[in-house]
Structure 1
Amino acid sequence: MHEPTRSLVLWFPDWPVTAYLREATTSAAARAGAPIAVFERNLVVACSASAREQGVRRGQRRRDAQAACPRLVVIAADETRDHRVFSPVVAHIEQLAPGVQIVRAGLCALRARGPARYYGGEAEAAHVMLATLEEQGITGVRAGVADGPFTAEQAARATRVEAPVRVVPAGEAGAFLSPLPVTVLDASIAPSHAIGEFAGLLARLGVHTLGAFAEMEVDRVRERFGEPGVRSHALAAGGDSRPVQPRTPPPELHREVAFEPPLELADQIAFGMRIAADAFVTGLGALDLVCTELRVELIGDRGERSERVWLHPGSFDAPAVVDRVRWQLAEGGKDVFPMGVAGVRISPEAIDAASHHAKGLFGAGTDERVHHALSRVQAMLGHRSVVTPVIGGGRWLAERQVPVPWGDRAVTTKERARPWPGSLPDPLPATVFPEPRLVEVTDIAGAAVSVGEREVLSAPPAHLDAAGRRRRIEAWAGPWPISERGWDPLRARFAHRFQIVDAEGAAWLLICEAGEWRAEGRYD
């Protein structure tokens, strides 16, 4: 086993909250300093200082946290967001000291020897990094220096606001770790162990501190816990032999354009993006990559932001990138950027090997020609000018037809899977009218048929008047009630659905709402 190396760990407390605030600087919660908590599986995983002051704690259930703080802003955990915001921070740290390892979003480690020699000591190096991060608007960061990343992390977590740096002298890791509870080992156990299981078992054995665990014989630990237990035993004794594994900085694939003074016209902004879009696509091509999902960020003169991920059925070229910038501006316009756009940033959200998107040996196929034609129409007329229908969720047939702009991915799977009481089961009508058509249903005497309070018809339906023609009804089924938003007097709906077959063999789907009959669709 190798000797532990001096490591410097930077810990960003409650990073999920910080990441959310750095991406939502214009939100009401960020402006008002409201208490915020990030939840995963209905448990608090991070919370702001104002939420903590009102009794919110990590591990709390959502209802307990909201009972302690009724004004709590609930945010869903998003690991992608945490890493996306953390990556530029790590890049900034690498400018001070190269060789940074991202342990997870909000926690990074690096070898202490180089920065200590350059800045005149381990504590001095840590203070320089914290001061630089504070200049970037990131406050509350803690630093720990010790033998090995594990001990350095515990040292960082043991700091206070007034003393954010803790240095454990070389050779004293075991003494520092000795009084700490065994629960700090949970994150270091192999994935096969459940969180808290290892510490809970040690507690049942009467072992509550790392010092007590380190005093156990290694052979007994191996017999009971296997190799993961032996590794945790070494950590508890201060023998963390893991080296810091620096990341390979990713290539700079994004492009940014600043406008001085800010521009208001979409055509001017799109024209200013042409060179950046060419450089963006060329940079990816130099690495034999293409962009299949593009993130466009627009920054206003007063800090307004508009951010969206655009999809592409193939891969983005420079004109397609410029089109997405123009479309995003058209969706927001002066409502979002009243003082103009000060900058645009484009970055690849998803990339793929260029070989997967190469043209065929005998030219473009039918799908590529169709895509080329539709994309050109879309570029001339706008993002929502070319759409493809997909089946979505809902109780009414017209709601289930969801038009998706060409090139976007349909995201209606969850909507379809959601329970929709009152929705029509398969098979669905082949013809669905965008707006239900007004019809008349009468009985044998010619009187209008209605539905009573107990869902009983006033008389059996005998005739259907639709599209200027009178049809005799041969068979019918129903009524099936549909009730929506009964709590909202403005949006509430209550209707009854019927299926009928006329004398010509045509089957109809009808709804009776507030005494009016309408045709929703026809079974062709």
Structure 2
Amino acid sequence: MSAQRVLALWCPDWPASAAAADSNLAPDVPVAVLHANRVVACSASARRSGVRRGMRKRQAQAACPEMVLAGADADRDGQQYEPIVAAVMEVVPVVEVLRPGLLVIPLTMSLCRHLGDEQVIAERLTDVVGSCGAEALAGIADEMFTAVLAARRGQCVEPGGDAAWLAPLPVAELAVEPCFGGPERAELVDLLRRLGITTIGVFAGFPIRDVATRFNADAVAAHRLANAAPARGPVGGRIEEDLVIEYDCDPQIDRVDAAAFVGRRLADELHRRLAAVSMSCTRLTVEAVTELGQRHSRTWRAVTPLTADDMACRIRWQLDGWLTGGRTTRDHRTDVRRPDSPIALLRIDPVEVIDSGTLHYTLSGYGLPESEMDSERARTALARVQGLLGGDAVKIPVLSGGRGPADRIRLVTLGEDPVPQGDPLAPWPGRLPQPAPATMTEVAVAVLDPEGDPVRVSARGAFSAEPALVVGSRKWSVRWWAGPWPTGLDADGTEVSARAQILLDDSRALLLHYREGSWTIEGIYE
């Protein structure tokens, strides 16, 4: 059991609440937030109409036609949540933000002596959030994970009773908050269900040695949560003072874009310093000091190590919310004390770190192995190129849905939401079978039969004759072929378009595309 208790404050459906506040909508207007054409959050009024998380956009609109739709926006969520954190910090001195919409507070003995018992503090803080125009539920427990699950039910767990309280909960609760799990947590939950393990208590009853042998590092972390073991243990600690970053702002900062630019630089610098000493940050304090001495400080906690992008996002959310002021809705307005003068000093303090050697890596990439560090370097380099050449100059591929290989990749500007053009998990009848070509190209060629006549695709979706030669820059003999696979009619509706795979005499394999009566090489297999 922890030496002190933890209080969690959870704002239900926060992305939907933030979207409503950003658009100045009335509280009873149904709102849904979409990502990749699916509902990721919805308001209570939308749920009453039958909208559920995971629904497709069309299903959600059919259930609630009057619903307002908004795209997922982490910056908006963080900016709208900042005034609520500020209001809570007017009552309690220490607040740690797990994510926008969820924060935790250590219930120290001094805090309880000053404000009253646990229930009194919980009621007071939920009232504070309510005065900001948002709804909140409070949960209290010995461990942070238990307190968060208790907050989702508005309950208080008895001291020493975390494990017993968790035991009857569905095992899916282990994945309900992504901030407590790795990217494989949903897969772990699905596997446990298929093995007949339906409750947290059953999973907690397995010996830790068996869990570590059968599953990966994330399963071991989930097993610790299920047993209400301390979430961090002895790995947390203070960073050396010479790694704390203080930046004298010259010129001083009074605009959000300038704050975001400086925050990105500081995040990159802190990430490099920590990597140089093989450390990773799990709790970050961002403090801004104005020219007249006003201070604004927040502590951000993460269960998995913060990347440079994570740090930059949290700095931007905090300063954006402070510089732009209160959160406004139709019926409520929360006035946040804005800076009394431009920001003159920024201080980035990684108040809790872990040694990189304590991270357990798996072949699936959990943690921050060297490949992830390489990805961080690549993202930093791309961001610099984008700054030199313009926002649309750097694009990244996103797996999408489609029938041809070119249709299955969508190029998205770096920094934008990587939303696919179509659902990559949809059936897509007529889709090219795996494997996909290693190289995409578009080179016109002729496909000839043994007599030297052009090979076409008939209206019935068959070759007019057996392919024997492919003629491009030179002639290649055909050793093997597969297809054709019709993909539809041409633009004028008179001829069938199709794809075929061809193995040449030099052992190269090609993907050919037939349309408008001619052939092109669409891809090359390795």
Q: TM-score range by the shorter chain?
A: 0.3 to 0.5
Tell me the TM-score normalised to structure 1 length: 0.46
Tell me the TM-score normalised to structure 2 length: 0.46
Larger radius of gyration: 1
Kindly indicate whether structure 1 or structure 2 has the higher relative contact order, using CA contacts under 8 Å at least 6 residues apart: 2
